[in-house]
Amino acid sequence: MTSLAGKIAWVTGAGTGIGEAAALALAGAGATVVLTGRRQAPLDDVARRIGQTGTAHVRPADLTRADQVRGVGDYIRATFGRLDILVNNAGVNIVERHWDTLTPESIDTLLQGNLSGALYCVTVALPFMRARKDGLLIHTASMAGRFIGGVSGPIYTVAKHGIVAMSHGLNMQECVNGIRSTVFLPGEVATPILDKRPNPVGPEVRARMVQPADCGDLIRYIACLPKHLVMNEVHLSPTYNRGYVAALQRQL
């Protein structure tokens, strides 16, 4: 495995789920990791585990607040003077996600939590990477970023389509600066965000899903690719794909 020693990685949504797994995987490969999320306690727990063999710094922030995103950037600049990897992972969903229950306020929650915050983080990361003519951005979207369906809700789907467009647009502009952007589209992942579904599924169903550690392993692999390569887009879904299974059952 390629070492990430000397690299600085900023992981958002790092307290649980995919972000937690990504932080652990990148730190395991030698990167120094900056952990950001809304809640201090989960970040501290991830940092404690990383600290047994690696290095992690906790910087809580509400990524829907541009000033707080800039504050994390200021900390990274003052502490390290560089940023090599951004794992743009933070996201939210809500139970009342369909048109009959959506309000302007809940629409703002979904768009700011899944799209605006990610865009803010990119604006902070790019100056570091342009200065070094090197850098990697990995954005967690969703299968909802490519396929329109009923489970995730329309506004979450809009936001994740925006993440896909953002990532490809970054490669179109920033390839001349040595910057690579990957958009990661997982299928069903057994993370706490599942509890925000209108009808949460039980442990047996979750055990068949993609696991956070699977995502962390993939993110580490992408981060270890050589500079002359970019993985533009990658899908990861469970073998037992419930969407496929439902379609097969309808054919019977």
Q: Do 88 and 139 touch, CB atoms closer than 8 A?
A: yes
* Nearest alpha carbon to residue 123 among 83, 159, 93, 160: 83
Q: Is 156 a catalytic residue?
A: yes
Q: Which of 75, 156, 221, 240 is catalytic?
A: 156
Known catalytic residues are: 156
